[in-house]
Structure 1
């Protein structure tokens, strides 16, 4: 990988080719727009190729005994080039030069190759591609081929294939293939269980007329075969313009009809119309329209970093690029997957990542986008009710892994093998990692603090808070011996510890959720009367408020022991301590599993990721400054950061505690999760929550942004090797530009409402401009 190309801070590059290590770049170079993401698989394909086209909301269950997942849809990236009877492949013949880049500013990926075939034909090839930010249905490709030492015959096979699978599971039927007027190829298919219609169109345009042209229909593949005779020095340009439509696209739905249309003719007609429209357009014009939208995004969302190391800036922009392509900003029927839509990892499911790691970024830069994420949770309430009922609880027990709105819990039951027993390891998170419901309540609270959106609370927010609180009120367990409520047999954020009691993160967030619901009930009659009328029909709200007030006061909240350490859970401080230096210095992650089984890990004082540290991060006022610092140091020394969620949160705390070198090191670890030297780190997709974490490192860590009851504060923690950090945020309708240098913090009000904030301990009121 190469990260110092000009313009610095904008170009991610791969300068050598290894056919066994292509999957990482397919993920990190992935292109999309929130509706569709396409992995950047090389056109000609190699052993380690994982082609992928993913469209939000098209969830399907391939087999009855499998869980719902985001299907890998028909592929348009594959193109075969045959030169004088020899297939172009960079692992054959002689590869004389190679460079692949992703320009974050425009979203375009480019590959330049100089290659000599085994028989001696020398070629220069340039491949370009993008997924449109201007029209979410369009993806376009351009290839230029120039023979440099002899005349050649070039055969190009290019079209659409439904041979893709999710690691072997086929989600789409073979489908109907048809050639439309103007040479447009159309493939119609549908998912085999959820019955979502999918239409894919592709059109080829050439700078020279092919000597032969033939449509080829094979099983699960529809291509055009084009033959050219190129003279030495002649450049052939091929443009491949494609578009996708599905029955779950927003135009095919109305409010309340969550699933869209199952009529394939409607979907096909939409694709036909768009394909006919761009037949008169070319790659460059489509790219210009998309790049204009990217420029507008960067003008508002860029976080500028002046550092001694340009990788600091590139890592931030890489995160912002992916944060833009992973969210469907106008559709509250869908969430964000743990890999975005850049690969099959975690099956496209949404986790607690959304509220804790991604929500702050969207909320403080594009509140309307954050609102769609909470809208997705509200629309998913039926699945949460179902899970609560199945487990003997009331209210909304949100699934640990979520897919389509009414799927409910979609966490797989088993995954991987136990190193000791050799048996399949059960996935316990879906059963006992329950803090996600409290995390969603925290997200609702944070959204309202930042926006004051009473309409949202009236229509959705109050209901979410009430139903989540009802779950926790039924979940807490009264202990006669201690005369308190406890929460037993859970997994906290630290997933190396299962079947634990009184996980501090879970307990504190539970009390927080009940407290917010109680306050909500108090304010509803006057502030959110529609919500009050609706919920009063279902529940005795006064009785519920009394129950919540009683129970939250009696829930056990772990406190510092004699050494000042807050127990992460009831068992943690009694576990066996081991030397973790081997694992702290590991190149990859989870190497400790090569030495210990999950059962053995449960007995060791080692954490996978931030747990109590995460609690102190989102609730910094729980403990005094000395206790917070002492616990941060204690738990950081025992945390392996085997989760991509971890480094970013530790960075924020380290910055707040004045541990400047550690904070910067944590930031650089966070940006290296996907961009780092481990060429297998992102094979199954980028780590979406890590992207939100990277933003939090700078904005919440180094600029010290904290949110409070109706207030916002900033405090300067800029690293010594950085000269400046600047970014835009939105708070309570005010658009603010923040610039942090070693001389201080400057906040400029760029429009909207007047706002009160606190800067380096000083309260200030900012009016427009």
Structure 2
């Protein structure tokens, strides 16, 4: 966005006099207060005036305003701000003024300045972040009365100043804090102020644009860049620029409506972080964000590269407490590439000569294209074209081609490409200020054949990180070392309108953790020594992507092409994060992919949304990801011991070795306060692991996995819950106390946050299911386990199995008075919260926990959920399964209550997690298909539209992406795997005319096509054992090379079905 010709990423607004017109009420309240004070001081003949207000009061907080004014009148007051009982103190007069102000405000209401409101709404539609910055401690109350809270992403006010020790205006501290919370440097933020003190603070802070509101106040013009009477008079260009089509742009000629292409036309600084994440290229081993090659880290640019499973630990101090955090490591940057013309300035990303700018992500081929046109002051037009890959054919290789084409001049062009080791983990605003330098011991060098290399290691995990690069050009290339952390290549050529310059950068990345290498530097240089052309690398890379898309194909005939493109994007990023190369690694499912540093790259429970998709496409990959959990069983056992239990307790957040790396505090950007983080009580991660183990078994019937790995995980998870449970002899029920469910808002009870909740329905039902599946696995392997040597190894005996059975049958489940499943014990006693009111005030209320904490309140007091909790049971199980599970626990559950249960909890959910829309799209699919489709559309848009307000720039949401695709794969087709049977019950939303996909089930590749009139299932020729397929209640046994056709009928028994050779 450009404001008054300047590139701006965010806008910070003063409140009084800019957003709301309460200045007159303030001035009147101050006059009443000071006139009384002056009368008591014997200066009643010199009353408070408007000039006094402008000179001493406007823009300052109450206490500072009183001090400033009384000094100007040569008076003194007791300055005991912490004790309002001191008669005549600064605090007493401040409270007196505030009381007068609030009384008048309540009586007269708040007037909104319409011009400002129009501009703010325009900014919100364009996705421009906004903040309110006020020295008033009443800012929240004023915004609530005005109904404008939802228009701003951040509020920084007098209460924040108190809590954080921030100086008031004219110091820039409050504006610095607002910019920090929004994640932008001051230079990319505009400030709108109506007070001299505020203008002075913004100017002192070096903000990108300082706007004064109120042309009648001549004093504003001294420090403001521009002064207007109405914000609608500002020159604001909110469309990305330069975005006009260019007839000579190769990317503009590509079909913009293609469901395989993602286009970004124009340049917008505020959108760069989002685009970088969504244009990330990866291959499962490593990934590189889609940053501009000429951009170094800083401001809105972040060219991060991440290697799967490469973590490091650092210590930081917050307050007086030292914490240790483990983070995925940002590797040295291999992208830096720039050029100069005739020895002039090197190209930078904010170049004012930019006339056309276009990025295109080719998802089908895994190629990122960029084209830019520059025209300098002398009229010289230069076109820059780039293509980039992170090779799917060779996991350690990436390459980029750069073409520089002068259109109307001849000159000498020098291209510079570098390896930059001076990087830090700085992608997440919340972590800034904490320790973030994970790389040390830098060395760089050059080889005699022109390769450059850079070597360093992580600080504590001591993983060696090596990059080697080569620049290929038709003209000579100079390679040199530029300090221990940098190495560079340069090449110079004479260019004309008919002969441009083309160079190719090829880079190899290796770690000391890699297999089958002698040393990482030697491996990297050997890889570069093969010297394949860029065209050859791209051809091999595209060939692997063709094979991947063939395996993962989902053919959707849909009336909404944008949704099809969004689905392709979801699957594209899943495949980049978890590829065939992942199978050779010891890694889990990173919640934010390999696309950024949010959640520090940790592994959560997202795999419960991911593995069901992979099981039916790449079961070997699912197996590998489950082995990540298996290898960390020793750490999970130690954690169970720490809480006084047997078995294995998997952590909420896992990283390198399986220890609990869940942070103990989190920063609330709304309040600026560090909040306790009690999410390590989410013990249900182990239940997700058990669910995935069993789902993998149902799909593959992999006896070797079940006997060698799966049974051990199931046994240890069951053993933990049996140890955690307590027996209520009076009710003859087992209780699970002090836990958390998927809903992170409830980590305890009112007045007792952090202690956990009791008898969470999701947890108790899942534990019962988990134990029953563990007992099933024991029966499959033989009760004595002699054939597989399981039970002797795990020390399982008959008495332990009997106790597990009793626990599974006698776990407590509670219901509300209306007969619906309750979320947890005591839920009914919580207060209701008017979510519509909060939406009206705040807009997006996903992170209601942060909103309430900033208000001095907590979600533990209310019937509100961050995401699906009880309803997760309907995501994981069919209605029939849930009825059976609860029946086994001794409860007669009426499935007719399911729609009311969905309505009840959906109306109390803020959707603060991207996983929430996925789960709700699933549970709505049977009864409310239009609502399900809308939820799916929103889930697919979570990262495309950055619905979490800035979180996409810190990494994509991998679980939501995989889960969105799985809605199409399993939910709308009605696919389920249980009881040695593949079940299908298709129910397509009206927007989908047909679905076709290929699945791998028990060594058969099966094609499934369903539309509104029929379902066809076809197996490829195979020697695998026959499988059972159930379509709408009719069972078929199919061998390889057969086909089943079932016509849709309102009565399943009337389906016409045949089995025929294929």
Question: Are 2:534 and 1:283 equivalent residues in the alignment?
Answer: yes
Post-superposition shift, 1:151?
2.5
CA distance in 1, matches of 2:670, 2:379: 51
Aligned to 1:10: 260
Change (3 A) 1:98 1:702: same
Question: What secondary structure sits across from 2:897 in the alignment?
Answer: helix
Among 911, 916, 923, which residue is 1:646 paired with? 916
Do the aligned residues in 2 keep the contact of 1:75 with 1:162 (CA within 8 Å)? yes
> Structure 1 length normalisation: TM-score?
0.93
Question: What secondary structure sits across from 2:516 in the alignment?
Answer: helix
Aligned to 1:577: 832
Do the aligned residues in 2 keep the contact of 1:584 with 1:640 (CA within 8 Å)? no
With 234-243 and 51-60 compared, the bigger mean Cα shift is at: 51-60
Among 755, 759, 762, which residue is 1:505 paired with? 762
CA distance in 1, matches of 2:783, 2:731: 39
Do the aligned residues in 2 keep the contact of 1:140 with 1:239 (CA within 8 Å)? yes
CA distance in 1, matches of 2:952, 2:670: 24
Among 442, 453, 466, which residue is 1:175 paired with? 442
Post-superposition shift, 1:554?
2.1
CA offsets per residue over residues 537-560 of structure 1, 9 Å max, x none?
Answer: 4524212112212222221123x4
CA distance in 2, matches of 1:741, 1:165: 51
Change (3 A) 1:72 1:119: farther
Do the aligned residues in 2 keep the contact of 1:245 with 1:271 (CA within 8 Å)? yes
Among 665, 668, 679, which residue is 2:934 paired with? 665
The 5 A counterparts of 1:50-199 are 50-63=302-315, 65-84=323-342, 85-118=344-377, 120-167=379-426, 169-199=436-466
Among 262, 267, 289, which residue is 1:39 paired with? 289
CA distance in 1, matches of 2:459, 2:850: 38
Do the aligned residues in 2 keep the contact of 1:648 with 1:694 (CA within 8 Å)? yes
CA distance in 1, matches of 2:481, 2:267: 31
Aligned to 1:635: 905
Post-superposition shift, 1:106?
0.4
CA distance in 2, matches of 1:103, 1:757: 37
Aligned to 2:870: 612
Do the aligned residues in 2 keep the contact of 1:121 with 1:150 (CA within 8 Å)? yes
The 5 A counterparts of 1:237-316 are 237-252=502-517, 266-277=519-530, 279=531, 281-316=532-567
Among 819, 822, 839, which residue is 1:564 paired with? 819
Question: Are 2:734 and 1:485 equivalent residues in the alignment?
Answer: yes
Post-superposition shift, 1:23?
1.0
Which protein has greater RCO, CA pairs closer than 8 Å, 6+ apart? 1
Post-superposition shift, 1:207?
3.3
Aligned to 1:447: 696
CA distance in 2, matches of 1:573, 1:418: 31
Post-superposition shift, 1:219?
4.8
CA distance in 1, matches of 2:838, 2:995: 33
The 5 A counterparts of 1:391-540 are 391-404=643-656, 406-417=657-668, 423-430=673-680, 432-499=681-748, 500-525=757-782, 529=786, 531=788, 533-540=789-796
Do the aligned residues in 1 keep the contact of 2:354 with 2:374 (CA within 8 Å)? yes
Post-superposition shift, 1:331?
2.8
CA distance in 2, matches of 1:722, 1:151: 55
Aligned to 1:674: 943
CA offsets per residue over residues 719-747 of structure 1, 9 Å max, x none?
Answer: 11221111111222221111121112211
With 633-642 and 81-90 compared, the bigger mean Cα shift is at: 81-90
Aligned to 1:546: 802
CA distance in 1, matches of 2:931, 2:454: 53
CA distance in 2, matches of 1:540, 1:738: 42
CA distance in 1, matches of 2:992, 2:275: 29
CA offsets per residue over residues 202-243 of structure 1, 9 Å max, x none?
Answer: 000113446xx3524125221123333323443101100011
Question: What secondary structure sits across from 1:100 in the alignment?
Answer: strand
CA offsets per residue over residues 57-108 of structure 1, 9 Å max, x none?
Answer: 2221134843222111111012122234123235332322111011011000
CA offsets per residue over residues 679-712 of structure 1, 9 Å max, x none?
Answer: 7341111100011111221122211112222222
Larger radius of gyration: 2
Change (3 A) 1:50 1:708: same
Do the aligned residues in 1 keep the contact of 2:771 with 2:804 (CA within 8 Å)? yes
Aligned to 1:261: none
Post-superposition shift, 1:577?
1.7
Question: Are 2:860 and 1:602 equivalent residues in the alignment?
Answer: yes
Do the aligned residues in 1 keep the contact of 2:736 with 2:764 (CA within 8 Å)? yes
Do the aligned residues in 1 keep the contact of 2:285 with 2:396 (CA within 8 Å)? yes
Question: Are 2:968 and 1:698 equivalent residues in the alignment?
Answer: yes
Do the aligned residues in 2 keep the contact of 1:673 with 1:681 (CA within 8 Å)? no
Change (3 A) 1:587 1:727: farther
Question: Are 2:637 and 1:385 equivalent residues in the alignment?
Answer: yes
Change (3 A) 1:391 1:677: closer
With 503-512 and 169-178 compared, the bigger mean Cα shift is at: 169-178
Do the aligned residues in 2 keep the contact of 1:576 with 1:605 (CA within 8 Å)? yes
Once superposed, which parts of structure 1, at least 4 consecutive aligned residues long, lie more than 6 Å away?
1-4
Question: What secondary structure sits across from 2:873 in the alignment?
Answer: helix
Unaligned runs of 5+ in 1: 253-264
Post-superposition shift, 1:336?
1.6
Do the aligned residues in 1 keep the contact of 2:295 with 2:349 (CA within 8 Å)? no
CA distance in 1, matches of 2:793, 2:329: 40
Question: What secondary structure sits across from 1:69 in the alignment?
Answer: strand
CA distance in 2, matches of 1:732, 1:557: 35
Question: What secondary structure sits across from 1:68 in the alignment?
Answer: strand
CA offsets per residue over residues 574-622 of structure 1, 9 Å max, x none?
Answer: 3222222355687656353464128521112211111111112212222
Change (3 A) 1:239 1:419: closer
Aligned to 1:755: 1027
CA distance in 2, matches of 1:43, 1:313: 30
Question: What secondary structure sits across from 2:259 in the alignment?
Answer: coil
Question: What secondary structure sits across from 1:201 in the alignment?
Answer: strand
Question: What secondary structure sits across from 2:569 in the alignment?
Answer: helix
CA distance in 1, matches of 2:577, 2:465: 20
Do the aligned residues in 2 keep the contact of 1:400 with 1:429 (CA within 8 Å)? yes
Aligned to 1:326: 577
Do the aligned residues in 2 keep the contact of 1:458 with 1:530 (CA within 8 Å)? no
Q: CA RMSD in A?
A: 2.3
Question: What secondary structure sits across from 2:325 in the alignment?
Answer: coil
Do the aligned residues in 1 keep the contact of 2:939 with 2:960 (CA within 8 Å)? yes
Do the aligned residues in 2 keep the contact of 1:583 with 1:640 (CA within 8 Å)? no
CA distance in 2, matches of 1:158, 1:215: 11
Aligned to 1:26: 276
Unaligned runs of 5+ in 2: 1-239, 244-251, 317-322, 427-434, 749-756, 884-893, 1042-1062
Do the aligned residues in 1 keep the contact of 2:845 with 2:851 (CA within 8 Å)? no
Change (3 A) 1:595 1:467: closer
Post-superposition shift, 1:535?
3.5
Post-superposition shift, 1:340?
1.1
